[in-house]
Amino acid sequence: MRLKRALLVLTTGIASALPSGATEGQELLQAASGVVEPFRVIGNIYYVGSQYGSYLITTPEGHILHDTGSADMHDLIVSNVEKLGFSVRDIRIMISSHAHWDHVQGHAAMKRVTSAQVVALGGDAVALGSGQDNSALGAEGWEPVTVDRVVQDGDTVTLGGVTLRALWTGGHTQGATMWVTSVEERGNSYSVAFRGGEIPNAGVQLFNNPRHLTVVADTQRTLERLKELEPPDLFLHNHPQDPAPELDPALPVDPRCVTCLDGEGWRSLVARVEASFDAMLREAEGR
Ligand SMILES: [Zn+2]
């Protein structure tokens, strides 16, 4: 029997105090709420998040932070980074999966303590700067934060020998971005993709949505693109998964990683979300 990988939950009770607007993974929140001990996932990538994902990518010339979670996660991310023996003041670049409150609400506070360069793509850059969710969902916002560099599909971010490439996966938000890189572990190289987003949240207005008029076309384009991609060796989700995904035993990741999916897990996620989007479209079109 396989031991279920579990989050190290030290305290509970955060989920009930979360702001409204959560439409993703409510059950997971219940299961995963609380303080998660930070750990090294693989290579130079560390999990420093909590009920929402946040990853630290370390380099000899400073670090990159992927997602800052909800505003109430700020202190925890700071202490997680320090617990791992790194300094938050060495964070030079902040990137994100997509501009929804549960992934970028902590950006402004994190920028204040790090002076890091905030990087975002297209409509997500607009959302970060305005503090307003401009996705089809239109949920609660965040403290506006200055975006220092607006990237386009295919652009790269490089620091200390680490390069991440931005893959536009618009639909869930206007500028949802899958960041792709590679890491070395035990003498092998692994391709790693950080989740951007795939399809709009359930229940959103798909046609003539004033915030995101092209949400259907963007999502269809994203799904086609994801299906054409070579599956990454490791896909890092931005929400903890419950139950924890089964992983290829040859993949050398920390067994506590409940946000880790292997190539097979990623493939089935893409198939699942495509089926969900088909159902959403059928319903919206009254078919
Ligand atoms: Zn989202």
pLDDT tens digits for range 214-261: 999 999 999 999 999 999 999 999 999 999 999 999 999 999 999 999
Q: What span, in angstroms and rounded, lies between the C-alpha atoms of 253 and 257?
A: 7
Cα 20 to ligand 1 centre (Å): 13
Cα 212 to ligand 1 centre (Å): 14
Cα 38 to ligand 1 centre (Å): 22
Residues with CB under 5 A from ligand 1 (ion): 100
State the pairing for strand pair 45-47/39-42.
antiparallel
Looking at the chain, the whole-number percentage of residues with pLDDT higher than 70 is 88
Residue 26: per-residue pLDDT: 39
Cα 170 to ligand 1 centre (Å): 11
Q: Is the previous residue joined to 240 through a cis bond, with omega within 30 degrees of 0?
A: no
Residue 2: per-residue pLDDT: 36
Q: What span, in angstroms and rounded, lies between the C-alpha atoms of 40 and 42?
A: 6
Q: Which one-letter DSSP state was computed for residue 265? A: H
Query: Does position 21 have pLDDT exceeding 90, yes or no?
Result: no
Burial class (CB in 10 A: 0-12, 13-18, 19+), 146: exposed
Residue 35: per-residue pLDDT: 55
Cα 100 to ligand 1 centre (Å): 5
Q: What confidence tens digit (pLDDT) does each residue in 22-43 have? A: 334 434 444 455 557 999 999 9
Cα 199 to ligand 1 centre (Å): 9
Query: Does position 195 have pLDDT exceeding 70, yes or no?
Result: yes
Cα angle 260, 261, 263; round to 5:
145
Cα 172 to ligand 1 centre (Å): 6
Cα 98 to ligand 1 centre (Å): 6
Cα 52 to ligand 1 centre (Å): 10
Q: What span, in angstroms and rounded, lies between the C-alpha atoms of 73 and 272?
A: 29
Q: What span, in angstroms and rounded, lies between the C-alpha atoms of 7 and 130?
A: 34
Cα 3 to ligand 1 centre (Å): 29
Amino acid at 233: D
Q: Please state, as a whole number, how many other Cβ atoms lie within 10 Å of the Cβ of residue 228.
A: 7
Place of tokens 């702001």: 19
Q: Following DSSP, what letter does each residue of 160-187 receive, concatenated?
A: TTEEEEEEE-TTSSTT-EEEEEEEEETT
Q: Is 9 helix (H, G, I), strand (E, B) or coil?
A: coil
Cα 91 to ligand 1 centre (Å): 24
